[in-house]
Structure 1
Amino acid sequence: AEIWEAVDEYCRAQGSARGAVTILTHVVCPYCGTPNDIGEANCRACGAPLADAQPIVCGRCGFLNEPHAQRCVNCGAKF
């Protein structure tokens, strides 16, 4: 967790408001590549299920993380 704090501190010093984290704005369908709104059950283009592509919400800080993350990139909590 200390390394991520150092990275975030450096990024903020360089002018980034959120540090090194990426803000997830959509879910990309793993079958056809179409961007979909977060929380959608199925792809709007091909109808494929999006459950495995949904972001992981951190139980500690509420941050949206990449679908297969092992730790929260915001606070370092393990999933």
Structure 2
Amino acid sequence: MEHPDHPFSELFEQLGLASDPESIKRFLERHAPIPEEVELPDAPCWNEGQAEFLREAIAEDADWAEVVDHLDASLRKA
């Protein structure tokens, strides 16, 4: 099954966050690194709806899964 490609900025829009490059950069700088033992949806930077979206995207291997993995990797970097 083919998954549509979602740009990183579109994921931020889906999460209700500012999606311009500078806002994304600031978000990542503010919230990284997330400790390895913390699952992405359990990070304290998400509200309940955002966390649920991330859980579903990961669990269902939804069309968002690849870009959510990119977000996870970006938030693991110091």
Q: TM-score, normalised by structure 1?
A: 0.24
In terms of fraction of residues, the more strand-rich structure is: 1
Q: TM-score, normalised by structure 2?
A: 0.24
Structure with the bigger RCO (C-alpha within 8 Å, sep 6+) is: 2
Bigger Rg, which one: 1
